[in-house]
Structure 1
């Protein structure tokens, strides 16, 4: 070892005051409790819960045992964690993590970033790829994270708008043309919608194709609500033209004081664009959300989305209420 930062093993960056080991089934409760403690102070819009973490343990592309780290204090309580995910052919890894509020400001977060960067280099080498890159996401309100990221050489590469639309207002009345039909999102459509999603988001900034495993995490997400989702199909050939996949977080509703139906994914295949499909799907979502007792429809959008999505959402009554950003570092 020659002492250069990029020659260090991931574990060389970790704070010796804590005992470190990968996450696993035995750590689920403590892992989830750490994230919840941090969220109680930092108040993010969304955070991982035990059900989400349990789902991660099933990943084959990103096995938690090799791509996560938990730090325990002398009493065996988790105080910090990080993990990365990366598609085998992807051009970036995505990092996650947090530090217990009682332990923040002591350098542990800087060490976790070092671990993430070192593990990212390893993953790119394992996949036979050059130019490793790590991406981190944060909400605009978390200025302490921004200072940490900037100090480690990260730069903002994208902004995202969280948008809400009150369901007490009148709903739009878009009409699909005769060649299209709106149907419920049933299990028999899962694969067809996956393929439509990959096609709709081909060459979209930051998007990578979803394989069967990644799509399984979408449709089997603990918060997924297929009853609040819908698909537009072409009557003649049965092709999926567009889709709206929704979720609802009951715990977040109790914390934020309102119930929201959240549009996780909205897409329209290129050859079907300009036929009012996105408007029809969002109008249908509003009706489904309202019927389920929701107060607001919500979604997130890339502020530089080239398809005109931001203008469409604004036209339909969505208003920006929060911003987040993506930070990148070339390693």
Structure 2
């Protein structure tokens, strides 16, 4: 049995995370975000979902560092699908404890745990897979980039956050014959999940969404099904495309702009070329505007092979922030 990975930083007391830690853990993230001002950070609701995960239980996939008074000052968390070719690492360090080597120590723990998790997932298969760890950063956070570069990570992809002001004329959401727009009703959730997995099976970095991860998406407290829609085949009833949306009022207060955010947008292959994505985005803009939003926003892979970036640009979206994905083969 593999030895439990350890965090090599003795000035903090380290232990596994649990569901009871979620409130104080969220306070650490909020305190760090107040100093570093990321575009987005996890909230208590996100951590609560992690605490409910069966694939990546906190007891073996998250570690917390506490000071002498029992205050959480740092954390690291690992997430991986059983058959995935990569794991995802997350973490932060309290601003008062930065520049002491805590971040490097957390990175070491993440790498150890990644090796273990790959060994667990491939045990008995006879098919070894090189462990790979992926970590995301925002371009504005140079200190994180320097840490990753020094540890042997390289940028493998760039992503753009894009905004489209809603005080400008909005496009019409016109659908072709044989297609109908419908609400994102619960009885369509499974069909949309399967359509999403089919749509994104060839996209860089994408992994199939199982029932657990899909439930976290559609049932998240910030999810706004009233701001989303699906396009159905009028004859078969099949899901041809979908737009799932959310709104974060706390983010609106911090950024001074109310965003209707497109979490997921996709069109199944056999329905492409019929203007469905454009119609869904136009519909989203009208829904966002009607709900009092200032901008429509989304994130896109800068090298998306479907031409999504060009579509968004034509519809008035403009890049406002850049983030990166960093990889290291262990």
> What are the equivalent positions in structure 2 for 1:127-206 lying under 5 Å apart?
127-128=121-122, 129-206=128-205
Q: CA deviation at 1:266?
A: 0.3
Structure 2 unaligned residues grouped into runs of 5+: 123-127
**Partner Cα distance (1:155, 1:99) in 2:** 21
SS in 1 for 2:230: strand
Matched-pair contact (CA < 8 Å) for 1:8–1:118: no
Aligned equivalent of 1:40, options 29, 34, 45: 34
**Partner Cα distance (1:82, 1:237) in 2:** 46
Which residue does the alignment assign to 1:285? 284
Aligned equivalent of 1:71, options 45, 54, 65: 65
Q: Answer with 169-178 or 250-259: which moved more.
A: 169-178
Matched-pair contact (CA < 8 Å) for 1:174–1:276: no
Which residue does the alignment assign to 1:238? 237
**Partner Cα distance (2:173, 2:44) in 1:** 39
Which residue does the alignment assign to 1:56? 50
SS in 1 for 2:241: strand
Which residue does the alignment assign to 2:293? 294
Which residue does the alignment assign to 1:10? 5
Q: CA deviation at 1:174?
A: 4.2
Q: TM-score, with normalisation over the residues of structure 1?
A: 0.96
Q: CA deviation at 1:178?
A: 1.2
**Partner Cα distance (1:51, 1:165) in 2:** 27
The structure 1 segments of at least 4 consecutive aligned residues displaced by more than 2 Å after TM superposition are: none
SS in 2 for 1:10: coil
Q: Answer with 206-215 or 14-23: which moved more.
A: 14-23
> C-alpha deviations, 1:260-304, integer Å up to 9, x for none?
000010000011110000000000000000010000000000000
Which residue does the alignment assign to 1:20? 14
Which residue does the alignment assign to 1:110? 104
**Partner Cα distance (1:323, 1:96) in 2:** 18
Structure 1 position 98 matched with structure 2 position 92:
yes
Q: TM-score, with normalisation over the residues of structure 2?
A: 0.97
Matched length: 324
SS in 2 for 1:137: strand
Structure 1 unaligned residues grouped into runs of 5+: 1-6
Which residue does the alignment assign to 2:327? 328
Backbone CA RMSD of aligned residues: 1.0
C-alpha spacing 1:174/1:292, structure 2 compared with 1 (3 Å) = closer
Q: CA deviation at 1:8?
A: 7.8
**Partner Cα distance (1:30, 1:140) in 2:** 28
**Partner Cα distance (1:175, 1:25) in 2:** 46
Q: CA deviation at 1:25?
A: 2.0
SS in 2 for 1:243: strand
Which residue does the alignment assign to 1:3? none
Q: Answer with 25-34 or 184-193: which moved more.
A: 25-34
Q: CA deviation at 1:9?
A: 5.0
Which residue does the alignment assign to 1:4? none
SS in 1 for 2:262: strand
